[in-house]
Amino acid sequence: MSMKKVMVIGAGQMGSGIAQVHAMAGIDVILHDLKQEFVERGMATIQKNLNRQVEKGRLEEGERDAILGRLTTSTDLQNAKDVDLVIEAAVENMEIKSKLFADLDQIAPDHAILATNTSSLPITEIAAATNRPEKVIGMHFMNPVPVMKLVEIIRGLATTDEVYQAIEDLSRTLSKTPVEVNDFPGFVSNRILMPMINEAIYTVYEGVATPEAVDEVMKLGMNHPMGPLTLADFIGLDTCLYIMETLHDGFGDDKYRPCPLLRKYVKAGWLGKKTGRGFYVYE
């Protein structure tokens, strides 16, 4: 299964990063989103990243131009009609993803693999919206995509070995390290990370320590490069809450209950770095 042409759906932080690493690996990429302004913003992010690489001497100007030349933009899903792979990096919402996969199933060629970058939703349920569940797979990149090496690869119930192998091989082509994970809520990364972040929020909520103190303990004591509350702000507190709710619903276990303070911040619109305020204030 050769991946000559890929469509990435969603031109936000994750989608633009996924598109960039594929184009850097010599693959033609269609970057798709609902509106032209969204894809233009995604392309501007990619260009800025590549320009920074040129300034640092890690990339020649000619290489940058060749990478950009492999990227095209789209606001029409029909452009998936001749791709080998679609990677969906849209909003974390099962209804939206299911509808998208049902549409892609009708548009994409029969041989095409449909992958999702979901961070917590069940691959098997997303696959059930299609007539090709054997060709649906989870391909969970880490943020920021061009920097982070890990790709969690998640099989659905029906995903074939051939499709799994194709995605593992592609991940290596992208200079990533693929890790196979089974289809459980939160997979491995978020099943472990999010309860840690949630517990860090509880320590603030219960008055055990300030956000600064919690982050300092985890950085200096556990050698984490970034404290859990800084990381939560970076991820987005709304995303953290959504993943905790997915874990809580999926396992029915109280240990995944989202901290009331997390809910309060999200209701207040304090979503972290993207809104200028979360556990910290950002200029």
Instruction: Please report which confidence band the pLDDT of residue 227 belongs to, taking 50, 70 and 90 as the band edges.
Output: very high
Q: Which two tokens stand for residue 47?
A: 């260009």
149 is in an annotated binding site: no
Q: Are residues 19 and 145 in the same domain?
A: yes
269 is in an annotated binding site: no
Which residues are known to be catalytic? 119, 140, 152, 190
Residue 283 lies in a domain: no
Q: Is the pLDDT of residue 138 over 90?
A: yes
Token pair 């999010």: residue: 194
Please state, for a pLDDT cut of 70, what percent of the chain lies above it: 100
Q: Are residues 130 and 264 in the same domain?
A: no
Residue 2's pLDDT is 84
Phi, psi of 142 (to 5 degrees): -105, 155
The tens digit of pLDDT for each residue in 2-61 reads 899 999 999 999 999 999 999 999 999 999 999 999 999 999 999 999 999 999 999 999
Q: Name the average pLDDT for the chain.
A: 97
Domain that holds residue 123: 5-182
Intra-chain end-to-end CA distance of the chain, in Å: 47
- At 57, is the secondary structure helix, strand, or coil? coil
Choose one of 182, 202, 224: the last residue of a domain. Answer: 182
Count the domains in the chain: 2
Choose one of 150, 182, 214: the last residue of a domain. Answer: 182
43 is in an annotated binding site: no
Please report, as a single letter, which amino acid is at residue 90: A
Q: Residues 143-164: what's their mean pLDDT?
A: 97
C-alpha span between 151 and 109 (Å, rounded): 25
13 is in an annotated binding site: yes
216 is in an annotated binding site: no
Q: Are residues 250 and 270 in the same domain?
A: yes
CATH code of the domain in which 253 resides = 1.10.1040.10
Residue 36 lies in a domain: yes
CATH code of the domain in which 53 resides = 3.40.50.720
The tens digit of pLDDT for each residue in 231-244 reads 999 999 999 999 99
Q: Are residues 151 and 237 in the same domain?
A: no
The tens digit of pLDDT for each residue in 69-127 reads 999 999 999 999 999 999 999 998 999 999 999 999 999 999 999 999 999 999 999 99
Q: Are residues 197 and 258 in the same domain?
A: yes
> Are 90 and 77 a contacting pair, CB within 8 Å?
no
Q: Are residues 89 and 213 in the same domain?
A: no
Q: Are residues 50 and 79 in the same domain?
A: yes
Residue 187's pLDDT is 96
Please state, for a pLDDT cut of 90, what percent of the chain lies above it: 98
Please report, as a single letter, which amino acid is at residue 274: K
